């Protein structure tokens, strides 16, 4: 999900605590904002800290070479796979992007074909920073595709195609397993520890300290209320955890209980984190919850509607209509593509790259 969506879900969780809402009404407390901050925190830890600590064994850098050689990229990926196979050590490879102008980038895609044991690299069109393709900028087909075959058994559970177009681009880690196979992890540094139940427990006490520090700063003296401190801790903890829970609905899950667990689990794959309707729907639900809670905990409520009726009218029915329209449009658009002989090219620009684009790290996550 997008950062703003996670921020809103954290705020929604915070408003479930009546004492926190009334403290905000009465004392202009910042306690509700803590829910939003900790709802956003897991992604901040990954995209502003973890990714800068990652070292890569292989790097594709088209900017230095001033061109994109699809065969060379495919060969380098296979070399990285074989290096992991032969050494038995984790091997990582980074695919940098190629910026050609203030708002122009050269797109290229990497496909891992585990069935045929091959890497396919395809050079795409020029695109803007908004990922709009510029017509007629694709290279000739014979210059656009490179194919290299590898000799290893890969475990690959993500989308076949990964696209490098804007910002910094994607990366893979190739990790040897005990059974001799190689596990291919897309951006292995993401959700490796930050998106976990245990990380929430570790960071929530910092939220408590932040709450005490803010309250004391605004009061001009040290202020500590044990009851409100416990509420602040719970808001930070649940705000953090709701981020982790929401992310499990996408393709990429997370490592939920480090250090007791070592690998990311697979998500439920119900939708992609960058899907506009998924983010909009989640935001809608969060806003509905926030408004209901603010009214419920107010000393003089504006309305007294039954919660089932309220959420039915404000959330369930509108979202059902919206999803129906979205699905109908998707069917119509897909039929149009089939008639025009177009393909989706393995659902490019999906979850993983969309999240990275938001944080200046490419267009997939």
What does the pLDDT look like over 142-166, one tens digit per residue? 889 999 999 999 998 777 889 999 8
Percent of the residues in the chain that have a pLDDT greater than 70, as a whole number: 91
Residues 142 and 169 in one domain: yes
Residues 22 and 87 in one domain: no
- The values of phi and psi at residue 299, to 5°, are -70, -30
- Which pLDDT tens digit goes with each residue over 188-246? 899 999 999 999 999 999 999 999 999 899 889 999 999 999 999 999 999 999 999 99
For residue 143, the enclosing domain spans 58-186
Q: What is the pLDDT of residue 338?
A: 52
Distance CA 80, CA 63 (A): 20
Q: In which band, very low, low, confident or very high, does the pLDDT at 360 lie, cut at 50, 70 and 90?
A: very low
- Which pLDDT tens digit goes with each residue over 230-280? 999 999 999 999 999 999 998 888 999 999 998 888 888 888 787 889 999
Q: What is the pLDDT of residue 59?
A: 95
Residues 194 and 161 in one domain: no
Neighbours of 72 (CB within 10 A): 16
Domain boundary among 147, 170, 186: 186
Interval 73-82 mean pLDDT: 97
Q: In which band, very low, low, confident or very high, does the pLDDT at 348 lie, cut at 50, 70 and 90?
A: very low
Residues 176 and 46 in one domain: no
Domain boundary among 186, 220, 240: 186
Residues 237 and 302 in one domain: yes
Residues 118 and 206 in one domain: no
Number of domains in the chain: 2
Residues 23 and 125 in one domain: no
Taken in order 111, 274, 363, 77, the sign of the CA dihedral is: negative
E strand map for 33-97: 58-60, 91-95
Residues 147 and 254 in one domain: no
Domain boundary among 134, 153, 186: 186
Residues 161 and 212 in one domain: no
Residues 76 and 42 in one domain: no
Residues 276 and 252 in one domain: yes
Q: What is the pLDDT of residue 272?
A: 77
Q: In which band, very low, low, confident or very high, does the pLDDT at 22 lie, cut at 50, 70 and 90?
A: very high
Residues 200 and 307 in one domain: yes
> What pTM does this model have?
0.84
Distance CA 245, CA 39 (A): 11
């Amino acid at each position: 999900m997008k950062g703003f969506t996670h921020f809103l879900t954290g705020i929604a969780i915070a408003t479930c605590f009546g004492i926190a809402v009334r403290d905000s009404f009465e004392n202009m407390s910042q306690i509700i904002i803590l829910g939003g901050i900790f709802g956003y925190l897991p992604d901040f830890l990954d995209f502003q800290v973890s990714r800068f600590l990652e070292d890569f064994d292989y790097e594709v850098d088209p900017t230095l070479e001033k061109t994109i050689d699809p065969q060379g990229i495919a060969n380098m990926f296979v070399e990285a796979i074989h290096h992991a196979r032969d050494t038995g050590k984790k091997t990582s490879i980074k695919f940098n992007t190629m910026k050609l102008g203030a708002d122009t980038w050269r797109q290229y895609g990497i496909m891992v074909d585990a069935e045929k044991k091959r890497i396919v690299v395809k050079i795409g069109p020029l695109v803007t920073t908004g990922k709009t393709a510029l017509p007629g900028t694709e290279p000739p087909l014979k210059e656009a595709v490179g194919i290299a075959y590898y000799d290893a058994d890969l475990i690959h559970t993500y989308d076949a195609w990964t696209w490098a177009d804007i910002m910094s681009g994607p990366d893979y880690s190739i990790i040897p397993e005990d059974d001799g196979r190689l596990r291919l992890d897309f951006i292995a540094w993401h959700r490796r520890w930050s998106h976990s139940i245990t990380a929430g427990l570790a960071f929530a006490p910092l939220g408590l300290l932040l709450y005490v520090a803010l309250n004391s700063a605004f009061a001009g003296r040290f202020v500590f209320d044990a009851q409100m401190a416990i509420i602040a801790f719970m808001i930070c903890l649940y705000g953090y955890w709701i981020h982790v829970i929401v992310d499990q609905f996408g393709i990429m899950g997370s490592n939920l209980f480090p250090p007791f667990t070592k690998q990311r689990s697979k998500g439920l794959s119900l939708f992609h984190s960058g899907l506009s309707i998924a983010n909009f729907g989640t935001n809608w639900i969060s806003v509905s919850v926030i408004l209901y809670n603010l009214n419920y905990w107010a000393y003089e409520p504006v309305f007294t509607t039954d919660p089932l009726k309220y959420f039915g009218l404000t959330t369930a029915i509108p979202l059902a209509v919206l999803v129906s329209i979205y699905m109908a449009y998707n069917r119509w658009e897909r039929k149009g593509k089939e008639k025009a002989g177009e393909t989706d090219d393995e659902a490019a620009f999906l979850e993983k790259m969309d999240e990275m684009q938001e944080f200046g790290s490419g267009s997939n996550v």
